[in-house]
Amino acid sequence: MKYSLVLFIAFFFSVSLFGQKPIETKKVPTTTQKAFKRKNSRGTDVKWFDNRDKRVYTVKFKENGSDCVVLITYENVILEKRSSVEYKMLPSKIRENLKKDYKKLKFAKATYIIKGRKDKYYSIIMHESQGRKKAPKIWEIQYTMQGKLLTVYEPEEVYEEEDVVADKYEQNLDAEAADLQGRMRDEKVSKKELPTGITSYMKSHYDYEYKYKEILLKSNTKYGQYYYIVMKKQGEKKEFVHYFDTMGKLIKVKEVDL
């Protein structure tokens, strides 16, 4: 099968559903659904896909009119989010650079990508026609959120078979997922965002003199996702460190001398 630009763009944006199976939302663990909704509360038309080999779910949905894709692990860690962006909504600096340095190419697709907590950038797909009998040449140009040029991937070779491209992209995805899953992620959480089980426990065990010193939502590949909460009373030289699961059930608590 000939490899066309339309196929390339669709495959590039979908983050590859190759090897993944559709799954009913009700069969996705509640904790995983909550982890997804916490960061994508405005998502609609949500569809889940399961890749058991990689222990990763792919979630396709709509958000503010954009097509979006999220990769989230079985441990409830969001690895990546991709959102389609209209050309006119790109930062002016990006549009100016494309017109100046890539005026001979045609705009095909823009995607806003978030990896981990800090890696955020725009990916722009441009193409150059080679006639009806050849697949177009494809460029990927990456920019920061402020419109500063990051990287340019120029076409090196033209693929004729869809499965060859799929295999190559799957390998890249495996490498990125392995790298991201190995990192610890700590996310600050406000008191009002805590599950009811946690706030009820705190009220029954600590009087008004105790304050929340630290509230974090932690996650790693070994233990999954959990709440890390530190309570302290002013003037005391000790604090109480709590570990709760994402449903609000206490895992353990320890007293730490300061």
As to burial, measured by CB atoms within 10 angstroms (0-12 exposed, 13-18 middle, 19+ buried), residue 197 is: middle
- Please give the pLDDT value at position 221: 58
Q: Name the class of domain 5-181.
A: alpha beta
- Please give the pLDDT value at position 222: 56
Average predicted confidence (pLDDT) for the chain? 81
What value, to the nearest 5°, has the Cα angle with vertex 132 and ends 129 and 138? 30
- Cα distance between residue 8 and residue 6, in whole Å: 5
As to burial, measured by CB atoms within 10 angstroms (0-12 exposed, 13-18 middle, 19+ buried), residue 73 is: buried
- Please give the pLDDT value at position 185: 56
For the stretch 162-188, pLDDT in tens is 444 444 444 555 555 555 544 445 788
pLDDT band at 6 (very low <50, low <70, confident <90, very high): very low
Q: Which two tokens stand for residue 146?
A: 């402020």
For the stretch 183-202, pLDDT in tens is 445 788 888 888 888 988 89
For the chain, the domains span: 5-181, 185-257
- Please give the pLDDT value at position 163: 41
